[in-house]
Structure 1
Amino acid sequence: MFQRFVRPLFIASSLVILTHSSFADDTKNWQHATSLVGSPKYQQGFSHFDYVNVNAPKGGNLRLSETGSFDTINPATAKGEIATGLGLVLETLIVSSLDEISSDYGLLAEAFSHPEDYSSVTYLLRDKARWHDGMPVTPEDVIFSFESAIANDPKRKNYYKHVISAEKTGEREVTFKFDEKNNRELPHIVGQILVHPKHWWEAKNASGEQRDISRTTLEPIMGSGPYRISQISPGSSVTFERVKNYWGEDLNVNIGQNNFDKISYSYFSDRNVEFEAFKANDIDYWVENEAKRWATGYDFPAANEGKIKREQLANAYRSSGIMLGFIPNQRREIFKDQRVRRALNLAYDFEEQNRTLFYDAYKRIDSYFFGSELASSGLPEGLELDILEELRNEIPESIFTEEYRNPIAGTPQKARANLREAIKLFKEAGYETRKGKMVNAKTGEPFTFEIILNGPIIEKVALPYAQSLKKIGIDVSVRSIDPSQWVNRWRERDYDMIYYGWAQSLSPGNEQIGYWGSDAVDQSASGNYAGISNPAIDKLIQKIIFAENRDELVATTKALDRVLLANDYIIPSYTIRASRIAYWDKFERLDELPKYSIGFPTVWWSKSAE
Structure 2
Amino acid sequence: MQAVCHPKTALSHPFHWLTLLALCLLAAMPATTLAAVHKSHAIAMYGQPKYPAGFDHFDFVNPAAPKGGSLRRHLIGTFDSLNPFIPKGDVAAGIGAYVYESLTIRSDDEPFTQYGLLAQSMEWPDDRSWIRFHLNPAATFSDGKPVTASDVAWTFQTLMNKGAPFYSYYYHSVDHVEVNDTHTVTFHLKPGDNRELILIIGQLPVLPEHYWKDRDFAKTGLDAPVGSGPYAVSKVEPGKRIVFKRRQDYWGKDLAVNKGRYNFDTVSFDYYLDDTVALQAFKRGDYDWRSEMTAKKWATAYQGKPFDDGTLVKEEIHHQNPAGMQGLAYNLRRPIFQSRVLREALAYALDFEWTNANLFYGQYKRTRSYFQNSEMAATGLPSKAELKLLTPFRDQLPERVFTESYQPPKSDGSGRPRANLRHAQVMLKEAGYSIRDNQLYTPDGKPVRFEIMTSLPDFDRIVQPFTRNLKALGVDARVVRVDSSQYLQRYRNFNFDMVIASFPQSTSPGNEQREFWGSKAAEVTGSRNIIGIQNPAVDALVDDIISATTRGQLVTACRALDRVLQWNFYVIPNWYVDRYRVAYQSRLKHPALGAYVSLDAAIDTWWDSSAQ
SS state at 2:604 partner: coil
Alpha carbons 1:337, 1:429 under 8 Å: kept: no
Unaligned runs of 5+ in 2: 1-35
SS state at 1:253 partner: helix
Offset, 1:387:
2.5
User: Could you give the per-residue CA deviations for residues 51-94 of structure 1, whole angstroms, max 9, x where no partner exists?
Assistant: 22222211101110011111111112111111111111100000
Partner of 2:18: none
Partner of 1:450: 451
The two structures have a TM-score, normalised by structure 2, of: 0.91
SS state at 1:473 partner: coil
Partner of 2:136: 126
Larger deviation, residues 164-173 vs 234-243 = 164-173
User: Could you give the per-residue CA deviations for residues 470-492 of structure 1, whole angstroms, max 9, x where no partner exists?
Assistant: 11111111011112111111111
Partner of 2:204: 193
Q: Matches of 1:319 and 1:362 in 2, distance apart? A: 16
SS state at 2:258 partner: coil
Residue type of the alignment partner of 2:246: R
User: Could you give the per-residue CA deviations for residues 346-403 of structure 1, whole angstroms, max 9, x where no partner exists?
Assistant: 1111111111111111111000001111001111223223332333222211122211
Alignment of 1:513-528 (within 5 A): 513-528=514-529
Alignment equivalent of 2:124, drawn from 110, 114, 118: 114
Partner of 1:341: 343
Alpha carbons 1:76, 1:148 under 8 Å: kept: no
Q: Matches of 1:350 and 1:156 in 2, distance apart? A: 36
Alpha carbons 1:308, 1:585 under 8 Å: kept: yes
Alpha carbons 1:30, 1:113 under 8 Å: kept: yes
Alpha carbons 2:193, 2:548 under 8 Å: kept: no
Q: Matches of 1:543 and 1:455 in 2, distance apart? A: 37
SS state at 2:316 partner: strand
Alignment equivalent of 2:156, drawn from 143, 146, 151: 146
Q: Matches of 2:237 and 2:49 in 1, distance apart? A: 42
Partner of 1:481: 482
Offset, 1:558:
0.4
Residue type of the alignment partner of 2:152: V
Alpha carbons 1:437, 1:474 under 8 Å: kept: yes
Offset, 1:169:
1.3
Partner of 1:594: 594
Alpha carbons 1:118, 1:181 under 8 Å: kept: no
Offset, 1:28:
6.0
Q: Matches of 1:496 and 1:601 in 2, distance apart? A: 36
Larger deviation, residues 481-490 vs 277-286 = 481-490
Alignment equivalent of 2:94, drawn from 85, 92, 114: 85
**Is residue 233 from structure 1 mapped to residue 242 from structure 2 by the alignment?**
no
Larger deviation, residues 342-351 vs 117-126 = 117-126
SS state at 2:324 partner: strand
Partner of 2:292: 288
**Is residue 35 from structure 1 mapped to residue 44 from structure 2 by the alignment?**
yes
Alpha carbons 1:101, 1:319 under 8 Å: kept: no
User: Could you give the per-residue CA deviations for residues 519-555 of structure 1, whole angstroms, max 9, x where no partner exists?
Assistant: 1111111111111111111111111111121111111
User: Could you give the per-residue CA deviations for residues 126-162 of structure 1, whole angstroms, max 9, x where no partner exists?
Assistant: 1000011111001111112111211122221122211
Q: Matches of 2:183 and 2:539 in 1, distance apart? A: 38
Q: Matches of 1:540 and 1:85 in 2, distance apart? A: 35
Alignment equivalent of 2:223, drawn from 197, 219, 222: 219
Alignment equivalent of 2:435, drawn from 433, 436, 458: 433
Q: Matches of 1:292 and 1:236 in 2, distance apart? A: 27
Offset, 1:441:
4.0
**Is residue 506 from structure 1 mapped to residue 516 from structure 2 by the alignment?**
no
Alignment of 1:241-252 (within 5 A): 241-252=245-256
Partner of 1:564: 565
Compared CA separation, residues 108 and 411, structure 1 to 2 (3 A): closer
User: Could you give the per-residue CA deviations for residues 89-115 of structure 1, whole angstroms, max 9, x where no partner exists?
Assistant: 100000011121221100000111123
Alpha carbons 1:431, 1:438 under 8 Å: kept: yes
Partner of 1:22: none
Q: Matches of 1:415 and 1:255 in 2, distance apart? A: 54
Alignment equivalent of 1:267, drawn from 264, 267, 271: 271
Flag the structure with larger Rg: 2
Residue type of the alignment partner of 2:324: I
Alpha carbons 1:310, 1:582 under 8 Å: kept: yes
Paired residues, number: 573
**Is residue 551 from structure 1 mapped to residue 515 from structure 2 by the alignment?**
no
Q: Matches of 1:561 and 1:429 in 2, distance apart? A: 26
Alignment of 1:449-468 (within 5 A): 449-468=450-469
Alpha carbons 2:440, 2:447 under 8 Å: kept: yes
SS state at 1:582 partner: strand
Alignment equivalent of 1:182, drawn from 193, 204, 217: 193
Alpha carbons 1:448, 1:475 under 8 Å: kept: yes
SS state at 2:417 partner: helix
Alignment equivalent of 2:67, drawn from 58, 72, 76: 58
User: Could you give the per-residue CA deviations for residues 306-361 of structure 1, whole angstroms, max 9, x where no partner exists?
Assistant: 2111111113xx13231001001011000001100001101111111111111111
Compared CA separation, residues 71 and 269, structure 1 to 2 (3 A): same
Q: Matches of 2:63 and 2:194 in 1, distance apart? A: 37
User: Could you give the per-residue CA deviations for residues 420-462 of structure 1, whole angstroms, max 9, x where no partner exists?
Assistant: 221222223332000111113433x211000101322211111
Larger deviation, residues 177-186 vs 368-377 = 177-186
Alpha carbons 1:350, 1:410 under 8 Å: kept: no
SS state at 1:56 partner: coil
Alpha carbons 2:100, 2:228 under 8 Å: kept: yes
**Is residue 583 from structure 1 mapped to residue 584 from structure 2 by the alignment?**
yes
Across the aligned residues of Structure 1 and Structure 2, the Cα RMSD in angstroms comes to 1.6
Alignment equivalent of 2:115, drawn from 95, 105, 116: 105
Alpha carbons 1:148, 1:214 under 8 Å: kept: no
Unaligned runs of 5+ in 1: 1-26, 204-210
Q: Matches of 2:195 and 2:402 in 1, distance apart? A: 31
SS state at 1:408 partner: coil
Residue type of the alignment partner of 1:233: E
Partner of 2:168: 157
Compared CA separation, residues 465 and 117, structure 1 to 2 (3 A): same
**Is residue 418 from structure 1 mapped to residue 428 from structure 2 by the alignment?**
no
User: Could you give the per-residue CA deviations for residues 215-255 of structure 1, whole angstroms, max 9, x where no partner exists?
Assistant: 11111101111000000011111000000011000011111
Q: Matches of 2:444 and 2:386 in 1, distance apart? A: 42
Offset, 1:411:
4.1
SS state at 1:320 partner: coil
Partner of 1:20: none
Offset, 1:498:
0.7
Partner of 1:538: 539
Offset, 1:283:
0.9
Offset, 1:164:
2.4
Partner of 1:492: 493
Partner of 1:208: none
SS state at 1:601 partner: helix
Residue type of the alignment partner of 1:360: G
Q: Matches of 1:165 and 1:508 in 2, distance apart? A: 24
Q: Matches of 2:469 and 2:309 in 1, distance apart? A: 43
Alignment equivalent of 1:202, drawn from 202, 207, 213: 213
**Is residue 46 from structure 1 mapped to residue 55 from structure 2 by the alignment?**
yes
Over the matched positions of the two proteins, sequence identity in percent amounts to 40
Compared CA separation, residues 398 and 251, structure 1 to 2 (3 A): same
The two structures have a TM-score, normalised by structure 1, of: 0.91
Offset, 1:588:
2.4
Offset, 1:412:
4.6
Larger helix share, 1 or 2: 2
